[in-house]
Amino acid sequence: MPQGTLTSSDHPQASTVPIQIPPLSQPTSVQLSLVVPTYNEASSICSLIRQLCAHLDKILPGAYELIVVDDNSPDYTAKVAQELQEEFPQLQVICRDHERGLATAVLRGWQAARGEVLGVMDGDLQHPPEIVLKLWPAIQEGVDLVVGSRYAESGGVSHWNLGRRLVSRGAQWIGLMLLPGVFRRVSDPLSGLFLVRRQAIAGIPLSPKGYKLLVEVLARGRVRTIAEVGYIFQERQNGESKIQLQTCLQYLHHLIALRFSLGQVGSFLRFSVVGLSGTFVDMTLLYLFHDPNNLGWDLAISKLIASEVAILNNFLWNDLWTFRHVTRLQPGLWNRLQRLVKFNVICLIGLLLNSLLLILLSERLGIHYLLANLIAIGIVVFWNFYLNAKLSWRVAAPRSDAHGSQS
């Protein structure tokens, strides 16, 4: 086995156990350790390593290392990478035999790293290697984390169709619902291209699931200051993406696990509970107003009043309970009145959206009207939560790097 090659037995933990990155035990001449996770990237790994070394030699001569972490790819990516080690002594190759998974592969690489700054870049050339020339200066300015972003200035994706863009945005949206304090910190929290200072994560148990290590780092790390660098996510030239349905489920699992482990039930769950109480108020009042055995009022009027009272009910609980961490910072009757007006308008639009979706799903798509209503309500709850969290109970401070990320 070539020198600098490790196997997974050097790092015996299973991926279900949290992984910790050690602090530096002695001064190091390595400033940057860049990990490249690979699975079946034999066709691009050589070109990537050559390009990376050419660029890094210019800005960090003799002061960086590259670490390829391969999960025993059937196309022998690890072997192909190992063959480059003679030419590039700054290259390490780690081959894991019994573990799979992008995020844990990167952490394994970081565990073996010697650098002060730890980084990750995909192995399939979809992250343009020359972007290191922009990422490194950003770190040098002193920030804890620099993220390559598809959504920052001069960033983008190559030729994604609408479906792919929607899936990507949808994933980001779900993240915003479940972990607003994490996802609002950067424009591209799902990026797999970033550099982070070792001291921002050293000693912290990390348990990412699936692909999205940056979310884990933002949520658990001591990341106070962040910079972003726009880049264009390239089309894949060789091989194929390893994203599967399982990757999407792991993503959801990861977000939910983080939500719970950050120690809050989460404003979204509270918001949903309040929503249920509102439904109860709405139903009861509708029955009282409209039923012929009670007041026997007109259905539309009964529904309107019932909904409005339910909205007021929901507002009060949300203001006093769901978003109490925000309302504490914005006391006074005038502030509350403003929140009430915004909440009311958003919910009324939500009601309209609910009806439109109901009609669309049941009449156009032929879904049973009760199921269609349930789906419509589900979607509108997200709509209501998202807009209200953004507009009605917005934390007044700008997206700030000085705050802790755990909200």
Question: Binding residues for ligand GDD, per CB under 6 A?
Answer: 37-39, 41, 69-71, 100-102, 105, 122-124, 126, 190-193, 211, 233, 241-243
Of 124 and 319, nearer to Mn ion (C-beta) is 124
Token pair listed for 164: 């792919």
CB nearer to ligand GDD: pick between 122 and 216: 122
Residue type, position 187, single letter: S
Nearest distance, CB of residue 21 and ligand GDD, angstroms: 17
Mark residues 108-147: x for contact with Mn ion by CB under 5 A, - for none. Answer: ----------------x-x---------------------
Find out whether 384 and 346 touch, Cβ atoms under 8 Å: yes
CB of 238 to Mn ion, least distance (A): 10
State the minimum distance, in angstroms, from the CB of residue 94 to Mn ion: 20
Helix (H) and strand (E) counts for the chain? Answer: 13, 10
CB of 49 to ligand GDD, least distance (A): 12
Q: Based on CB atoms, which residue is closest to ligand GDD, 97 or 397?
A: 97
Helix (H, G, I), strand (E, B) or coil at 207: coil
CB nearer to ligand GDD: give 39 or 315: 39
Query: In angstroms, what is the minimal distance from the CB of 364 to ligand GDD?
Result: 33
Distance CA 365, CA 376 (A): 13
Under 8 Å between Cβ of 133 and 54: no
Compute the least distance from the CB of residue 124 to ligand GDD, in Å.
5
Closer residue to ligand GDD in complex, CB, 164/368: 164
Give the side-chain half-sphere CA count within 13 A for 235. Answer: 5
SS3 state of residue 51 = helix
Q: Is 363 helix (H, G, I), strand (E, B) or coil?
A: helix
Residue 282: CA atoms inside 13 Å, Cβ hemisphere, count?
A: 16
Binding mask 213-252 for Mn ion (x = CB under 5 A): ----------------------------------------
Q: Which residue is nearest to ligand GDD (CB)?
A: 192
Identify the H or E element spanning 380: helix 369-387
Tracing tokens 């091989």 back to the chain, one arrives at 239
Query: By the 8 A CB rule, do 32 and 90 touch?
Result: no
The listed partner (Mn ion, ligand GDD, none) that binds 70, CB under 5 to 8 Å by sort, is ligand GDD
C-alpha torsion angle, residues 48, 54, 57, 63 (rounded to 10): 10
CB atoms near residue 78 (< 10 Å): 23
Degrees, nearest 5: CA angle 283-177-246 = 110
Instruction: Give CA–CA dist 291/293, Å, rounded.
Output: 5
Closest contact distance (angstroms) between CB of 170 and ligand GDD is 13
Which CB, 37 or 278, lies closer to ligand GDD?
37
User: Least distance from C-beta 64 to ligand GDD, angstroms?
Assistant: 19
Query: Which of ligand GDD, Mn ion, none sits in contact with 123, Cβ below 5 to 8 A by type?
Result: ligand GDD
Residue appearing with tokens 């050559």: 50
| String of DSSP letters for 291-360 | -TTTT---HHHHHHHHHHHHHHHHHHHIIIIITHHHHTTS-SHHHHHHHHHHHHHHHHHHHHHHHHHHHI
253 binds, among ligand GDD, Mn ion, none (CB under 5 to 8 A by kind): none
Which one of ligand GDD, Mn ion, none is in contact with 41 (Cβ closer than 5 to 8 A by kind)? ligand GDD
Number of residues located near Mn ion, criterion CB under 5 A: 2
Cβ proximity to ligand GDD, 172 vs 344, nearer residue = 172
Pick between residue 116 and residue 122 the one whose CB is nearest to ligand GDD. Answer: 122
Of 238 and 355, CB closest to Mn ion:
238
Binds 101, which of Mn ion, ligand GDD, none (CB < 5 to 8 A, cut-off by type)? ligand GDD
Q: How far is the CB of 83 from ligand GDD (least distance, A)?
A: 18
Whose tokens are 């480059």? That residue is 84
The residues binding Mn ion (CB under 5 A) are 124, 126
